[in-house]
Amino acid sequence: MADGVLHGVRVLDLSRLLPGPFCTQLLCDLGAEVIKVEDPVGGDYLRHTPPLADDGTSVLFHALNRGKQSVALDLKSADGQGAFLALCDNADVVVESFRPGVLDKLGLSPATLRTRNPRLVVCSISGYGQQGPLRLRAGHDVNYLARSGALSLMAVPTLLPVQVADLAGGAWPAAMQICAALVGRARTGEGCVIDVDMTAGVTGLIAMQLSRTLVGERIDGGRDLLVGGVPSYGVYATADGWLAVGALEPKFWSAFCGAIDRPDLIDRGFDNDDNDDDNPNDGTRAIITALLKTRTTSDWMERFAAVDCCVEAVLTPAQVLEGAAHVDVTIDDATTLPLATLGLGIAGHTPASTRAPRLGEHTDALCTTLATRAARSLNDG
């Protein structure tokens, strides 16, 4: 396996569930050595979330922890804290997602860690940041989306199938800032503390809508351009599935109308009367809705195959996996588990394809290494 761009970078991962582990999986796939520091009792909660693979560990855990190592430490004990501090002495990055203040109570605050190792980059991921008035408030993805303003842009706010706040508001910004901090450290020799606020991260994603609001424009849910405001951009049912239509530009909308044999609609791609409660049945969206239901998804896609008009079938996860890139992960002596990759494309690096670690699997090896180093240091002194 080719070395990645982060080869030689050691990351200690204290996080659990989704945002932190996704972030450190990105770093791992870029070549970093990632060591999960887990509670000896149970470890990362995701280990036990169904469905389980043949080794008794969650498939979800395998998906987010490929190629990492695991050390089991009780951070509430003096021995566990000492072992973790020793790990920090030889680490480059620490990622944690506890509620703000937890590490301080354990005597492992970012300031403490960086006093021991000034080159250390400490990244904290939380729902509302480390300092704000909501910092101790409990929450999950849907709560952060609500407070960010993102859910209000929908005609009917609802649950999303992708954890946008966890991933786009948390994991990806954390990974990007960690990489930026490592670049900065190469110049200054100093690490830093990173505070990733997932709600603020999602608020940043709707910067265009917020900017329009700042100049007095009112944005009602479901009436914005990309969330149902115009018929040329939307999701429509077919006889047996769904089509995603993104024909915003005139040339694409014209081609779309030609493909469905309705050239009379060419000038109506940006009609907005379909959002009125008393809208007649001959509104543009209503016409398209009725028409697309007359054929199956495959029939429509066959018709659209030779037409450049930004239309795609809505695929299921099973259909996506038929052609998606994946890695075959060996989870025991007899079982191989295919897992989707995270979509990184750094030239010359092959993402790790080893299994996720068993809880505490590398504790003895890493602690023995630390003890040896400590003994050598004392002897040298």
Residue 172 domain-assigned (yes or no):
yes
Considering the domain architecture, whether residues 263 and 304 belong to the same structural domain is answered as yes
The pair of three-digit structure tokens given for residue 40, joined into one six-digit string: 């000896």
Residue 171 domain-assigned (yes or no):
yes
Percent of the chain with pLDDT over 90: 74
Query: pLDDT, tens digit, for every residue of 223-263?
Result: 888 888 899 999 999 999 999 999 999 999 999 999 999 99
Q: How far is CA 339 from the centre of its chain?
A: 16
Considering the domain architecture, whether residues 55 and 186 belong to the same structural domain is answered as yes
- Please report which confidence band the pLDDT of residue 353 belongs to, taking 50, 70 and 90 as the band edges: low
Considering the domain architecture, whether residues 198 and 109 belong to the same structural domain is answered as yes
Is the predicted pLDDT of residue 319 greater than 60, yes or no? yes
Residue 5 domain-assigned (yes or no):
no
Considering the domain architecture, whether residues 162 and 254 belong to the same structural domain is answered as no
Query: pLDDT, tens digit, for every residue of 38-78?
Result: 999 999 999 999 999 988 999 999 999 999 999 999 999 99
More confident residue, 281 or 254: 254
Which residues are bridge partners to 10 per DSSP?
33
Whether a cis peptide bond, with omega within 30° of 0, leads into 51 is: yes
Q: Which helix (H) or strand (E) holds 361?
A: none
DSSP state string for 276-342: STT--TTSHHHHHHHHHTTS-HHHHHHHHTT--S-EEE---HHHHHTTS-EEEEE-SSS-EEEEE--
Residue 353 domain-assigned (yes or no):
yes
Considering the domain architecture, whether residues 129 and 182 belong to the same structural domain is answered as yes
- ∠ at Cα 334 (333, 337), nearest 5°? 105
Considering the domain architecture, whether residues 91 and 192 belong to the same structural domain is answered as yes
What is the average pLDDT across 115-141? 96
Query: pLDDT, tens digit, for every residue of 200-229?
Result: 999 999 999 999 888 888 888 888 888 888
pLDDT for position 342:
82
Q: What is the CATH number of the domain that holds 285?
A: 3.30.1540.10
What's the domain range around 308? 225-237+242-313
Active site residues: 140, 166
The beta strand positions in the chain, using DSSP E, are 10-13, 33-38, 69-72, 93-96, 121-126, 192-197, 233-237, 242-246, 311-313, 326-330, 336-340
What is the average pLDDT across 353-378? 74
pLDDT for position 1:
47
Considering the domain architecture, whether residues 200 and 247 belong to the same structural domain is answered as no
Query: Count of domains in the chain?
Result: 2
Task: Tell whether the torsion through CA atoms of 20, 25, 28 and 29 is positive or negative.
Answer: negative
Average of per-residue pLDDT values in the chain = 90
* 110 Cβ contact list (under 8 Å, min separation 6): 94, 103, 122, 124, 193
More confident residue, 280 or 203: 203
Residue 250 domain-assigned (yes or no):
yes
Residue 27 domain-assigned (yes or no):
yes
Considering the domain architecture, whether residues 284 and 342 belong to the same structural domain is answered as no
Residue 253 domain-assigned (yes or no):
yes
Is the predicted pLDDT of residue 370 greater than 80, yes or no? no
Domain boundary pick from 287, 313, 339: 313
Domain boundary pick from 313, 338, 355: 313
Is the predicted pLDDT of residue 375 greater than 70, yes or no? no
The answer to whether 367 and 84 have CB atoms below 8 angstroms apart is no
- Please report which confidence band the pLDDT of residue 273 belongs to, taking 50, 70 and 90 as the band edges: low
Domain boundary pick from 258, 281, 313: 313
Considering the domain architecture, whether residues 152 and 52 belong to the same structural domain is answered as yes
Which residues are bridge partners to 234 per DSSP?
245
Considering the domain architecture, whether residues 67 and 183 belong to the same structural domain is answered as yes
Considering the domain architecture, whether residues 170 and 266 belong to the same structural domain is answered as no
Residue 4 domain-assigned (yes or no):
no
Query: pLDDT, tens digit, for every residue of 165-189?
Result: 999 999 999 999 999 999 999 999 9
Considering the domain architecture, whether residues 124 and 20 belong to the same structural domain is answered as yes
* CA gap 260, 267 in Å, rounded: 15
Is the predicted pLDDT of residue 133 greater than 70, yes or no? yes
Query: pLDDT, tens digit, for every residue of 1-52?
Result: 468 899 999 999 999 999 999 999 999 999 999 999 999 999 999 999 999 9
Q: What is the CATH number of the domain that holds 48?
A: 3.40.50.10540
Residue found under tokens 């914005």? 224
pTM over 0.75: yes
Is the predicted pLDDT of residue 329 greater than 60, yes or no? yes
DSSP state string for 194-236: EEEEHHHHHHHHTHHHHHHHHTT----TT-SIIIIISTTEEEE
More confident residue, 62 or 276: 62
pLDDT for position 225:
86
